[in-house]
Structure 1
Amino acid sequence: MIATIPYIENKFQEYNELIFDGKLPELPIKLSKAKTSLGQLAFKRRRTWYGRTVYSDFRLRVSTHFDLPENELEDIIIHEMIHYYIFVNRLKDKSAHGPLFRQMMKDTNIRYGRNISISRKQKELTTATQ
């Protein structure tokens, strides 16, 4: 399955209600032709006069380079939504895939029967042009 904006928007709304209790604000969704990343939560970061870091202009990007099984595409969307949830709620984690992220990922996998992971092996994926 090749990602489309309407599909991603629909799944974002569905999983926002199911997993995140509808607490995630809508965000722009973009498609990319990235060969090295399946999904990305992009944003702007700036420091205030008081030294606090502020994040804004969130965007969800999903690659159209790969033809993925639907469940894998859903897992990628949820993976990026976990990142978004952490940022929106100003939760602290040690790194992008730190202990908090990993715990949320594990909890989601168990509770909803998902297979969300940190990364996928690129050579196992089929490109959209194959």
Structure 2
Amino acid sequence: MGLNWLNDVKWDEQGLVPVIAQDAASGEVLMFAWMNRDALDQTRRTGEAVYWSRSRRRLWRKGEESGHVQKVHEIRTDCDSDVILLRVEQVGGIACHTGRRSCFFNKLEESGWSSVEPVLKNPEEIYR
């Protein structure tokens, strides 16, 4: 497979595309991140999620510090080709740097935002 498929993605002004990581088995949305062309190409070639860290300004292999890699089952794009969906197996069951299964653990309730998902592992034990 050549790299022409990368030209079909609608990259933003910074050369990035938003990415949603979804559990391939349950359909649960695990996290949101960004990719550049190199991250998306490496993800396809290696079968493990690679993202672009906007804060660190570098490629970020999911799980490079925590061991919680994402094994990619499918790569999809939306109808406008401007959002990527990764269907993944979340190794270790933790996708969030807070030690939770999903990054989407805050729920809007009458009193405001409330954390509704448990911490599965203390982040201090994950990131040393």
TM-score, with length taken from structure 2: 0.26
- Which has the larger strand fraction? 2
**Which structure exhibits the higher relative contact order, with contacts defined as CA atoms closer than 8 Å and separated by 6 or more residues?**
1
